Structure 1
Amino acid sequence: MALSTLRIVWLYPDLLSTYGDRGNLLVLAHRARARGIDVEPMQIRSDQHIPHTADIYLIGGGEDGPQAVAADRLLQDGALSRAAEAGKPILAICAGYQLLGASFYANGRAYEGLNILDLRSDRGPSRAVGEIAGEAAPQLGIGPITGFENHGGRTHLGEAVQPLARVTAGVGNDGATEGAWAGHVIGTYMHGPGLARNPKLADLLLAWAVGVNPAQLPPLDDTWPERLRHERFAALSASQ
């Protein structure tokens, strides 16, 4: 593997960090270190410049006010858009996911997004709260996904992105699809944190960052993550 030190940026923890989303940083750091990769976690607040030299960028969820502030500062900074153009892996959750599109709805009106992904978000008829699960896009090779959602938005995908998954439980984008991806950028409504519940998704991001196929990453003992996944899928099955 090419990287000796993996630089993971957690963006705007002072604005966007709900429902355990910081756990995604912890999961990536743990899975990298377990494979002998040094990790430099970087928490970049909204009053700081975003580094251009990171290897993975993470954004979490947040409420309307902080989301609108984050959009303005990300647009002014420009570094996240340049990271996407350079092919750096980006994982964005909930409000962070909506920020990656052309527009999103907050505080009763539409705001400009970063236009990193071909999508737009608006308000749905009801709030989506609870477990979400789906069959991930087969091209990604990560299998079924599981997470927790809590959002009032609905996201509409354009032609230049693909759904992260087809929904089997919950709402996601619109009751049919969940999340979106294009290149090395993934957006999703899955909290949980999502990478704790979906270790193959974590490894996909790591593989993109170090420039290998996920199958080339040394295997880890995923007994506990798999027990968690089994528990969540079993709970969904019992409730249906």
Structure 2
Amino acid sequence: MPKLSIGLILPDVLGTYGDDGNALVLRQRAQMRGIQAHIHPIHLGEPIPDDLDLYTLGGGEDTAQILAAKHLLSDGGLTRAASAGRPIFAICAGFQVLGQSFRAGGRIVDGVGLIDATTVTLDKRAIGEVASRPTGVGLTEELTDTLTGFENHMGATLLSGEARPLGTLIRGVGNTDEHGASEIAGDTQQRYAEGVVQGSVIATYMHGPALARNPQLADLLLAKALGMKLAELEPLEIPAIEQLRKERLG
């Protein structure tokens, strides 16, 4: 029987918005397929194993972000896991922390540098439903279902280098508003971007939790962690999830 280890990274500081639920969704969807799955919470100050199968990070406030970035940089475990190609899924503050830099507490803070992104400040808080069409780049090549979530952030996250958007906006603000995107003149892809895909990292501003609202994305992460194609995973029919998606995408 296959086994799966899921790292829940810093739930004590990056757990403000219920994004711990993403790890629970991954475990449940694995177990429903007969896969032994265990969640390994790793708290602030604890070493981060670099040999888990899959990692999740959630959202948090400014002080939490600063603490998280400092720990992740000094520990290095998550960076080694990314270098080994282990899937990492990050939400909101976790998204910003994995970039090159972000603004928190009135200053610019160094990020972990796993994605080529810099977060500045939006003119107005982005709050409400967000939806996008998957770009299908890199790790997300097999992803086809519309992505849905709830955004609540003040960050304008500008992508560069090898970073590519996870989705193209249908609704909401996503990574940045027009003011933020204007820092990269004429970049239409930047203006309508939601989330990021780079290497083994997938990050997004979607709360919800995101993987409860996007089962195909959850299964993609499971498949990558298991070294499989998405199509090789046994399908799951859960009517309640389909009803939720219809309501949110309606």
TM-score by length of 1: 0.94
Partner of 1:28: 26
User: Could you tell me how far apart the structure 1 residues matched to 2:30 and 2:208 are?
Assistant: 20
Say whether 1:145 aligns with 2:147: yes
1:191 to 183, 203, 207: 207
Q: Tell me how far apart the structure 2 counterparts of residues 161 and 36 of structure 1 sit (CA, whole Å).
A: 35
> Which of 15, 19, 38 lines up with 1:40 in the alignment?
38
**Distance between the aligned counterparts of 1:152 and 1:82, measured in 2?**
29
* 1:200 match: 216
- The answer to whether the aligner puts 1:113 opposite 2:79 as a matched pair is no
Q: Is the 8 A contact 1:142 1:201 kept in 2?
A: no
Q: After the TM superposition, which residues 1-240 of structure 1 pair with which residues of structure 2 at under 5 Å, given as runs?
A: 4-138=2-136, 139-175=141-177, 176-234=192-250
Question: 1:85 & 1:142 partners in 2: Cα distance?
Answer: 26
One-letter amino acid of the structure 2 residue matched with residue 144 of structure 1: T
Amino acid at match of 1:123: T
Give the whole-Å Cα distance in 2 for the aligned partners of 1:164 and 1:4: 28
Return the alpha-carbon distance in structure 1 between the equivalents of residues 50 and 216 of structure 2.
26
- Taking the aligned partners of 1:113 and 1:141, their CA distance within structure 2 comes to 28
CA distance in 2, matches of 1:123, 1:140: 32
AA matched with 1:143: D
Give secondary structure in 1 for the equivalent of 2:125.
strand
Q: CA deviation at 1:222?
A: 2.8
Aligned-partner SS, 1:57:
strand
* TM-fit CA distance, 1:221: 1.1
Which sections of structure 2, spanning at least 5 residues, go unmatched? Answer: 178-191
- CA distance in structure 2 between the aligned counterparts of 1:8 and 1:77, rounded to whole angstroms: 18
Instruction: Provide the rounded CA distance (Å) in 2 between the counterparts of 1:63 and 1:167.
Output: 25
Could you tell me how far apart the structure 1 residues matched to 2:69 and 2:26 are?
A: 25
Distance 1:23 1:33 in 2: 15
Residue 70 of structure 1 aligns to a residue whose secondary structure is helix
Q: Distance in 2 between matches of 1:25 and 1:103?
A: 26
Q: Which moved more, 1:23-32 or 1:169-178?
A: 169-178
The DSSP-based 3-state class of the residue aligned with 2:5 is: strand
The one-character-per-residue Cα deviations of 1:67-104 (angstroms, maximum 9, x if unpaired) are 00110010000011111110000000000000111000
The residue that corresponds to 2:181 in the other structure is none
Deviation at 1:52, TM superposition (A): 1.8
Which string of whole-angstrom CA distances, capped at 9 and with x for unpartnered residues, describes residues 188-237 of structure 1? 00000000000000000000000110000011113211110100011xxx
Q: Deviations over 1:108-132 (max 9, x none)?
A: 1100001101111111111001111
**4+ aligned runs moved over 6 Å, structure 1:** none
Contact residue 58 and residue 92 of structure 1 kept, 8 A:
yes
Residue identity over aligned pairs, in percent, reads 49
**Alpha-carbon contact 1:58-1:91 (below 8 Å) kept:** yes
How many residue pairs get aligned? The number is 232
Superposition RMSD in Å: 1.0
Structure 1 residue ranges without an equivalent (≥5): 235-240
Q: Which one-letter code corresponds to 1:181 in the other structure?
A: V
Aligned-partner Cα distance in 1 for 2:126–2:16: 15
